[in-house]
Amino acid sequence: MQFTFTAETIEWRGPAPFMFLPIPQELSAQIKLIAAELTYGWGVIPCTATIGATTFTTSLFPKDGAYLLPIKVAVQRTENIQYESTVTATIEI
């Protein structure tokens, strides 16, 4: 499953040192349909994400009925991402 979306980065007091990109509800609903087959615990789902020219591995975090894409500090620096930046990401699950 691969999809591309655009969202505004948020801060969440979850595991540091990440900021997060909320995955839109309609895409989160599609992920939920197959989540049980993909999760390795606590509802997190491993994925590969690409932002700009940077591809990285991470895991989607469930939050409030949707998912969040953590953006690692190295990716934030390389792609010059700040809080409340509008970012386009491609995710492969």
Q: Which domain holds residue 39?
A: 2-82
Q: Are 10 and 83 in contact (CB under 8 A)?
A: yes
CATH code where residue 60 lies: 2.40.30
Q: Is residue 93 part of a domain?
A: no
Q: Is residue 92 part of a domain?
A: no
Exposed/middle/buried for 23, CB within 10 Å: 0-12, 13-18, 19+? buried
The structure's pTM equals: 0.90
Q: Is residue 52 part of a domain?
A: yes
- Scanning the structure block, which residue is given the tokens 């940077």? 54
Tell me: the pLDDT tens digits for 63-84? Answer: 999 999 999 989 999 999 998 9
Q: Is residue 66 part of a domain?
A: yes
Q: E strands, 1-93, where?
A: 2-8, 19-22, 45-51, 54-63, 66-71, 86-92
Q: Is residue 75 part of a domain?
A: yes
pLDDT band for position 17 (50/70/90)? low
Number of domains in the chain: 1
Q: Is residue 54 part of a domain?
A: yes
SS3 64: coil
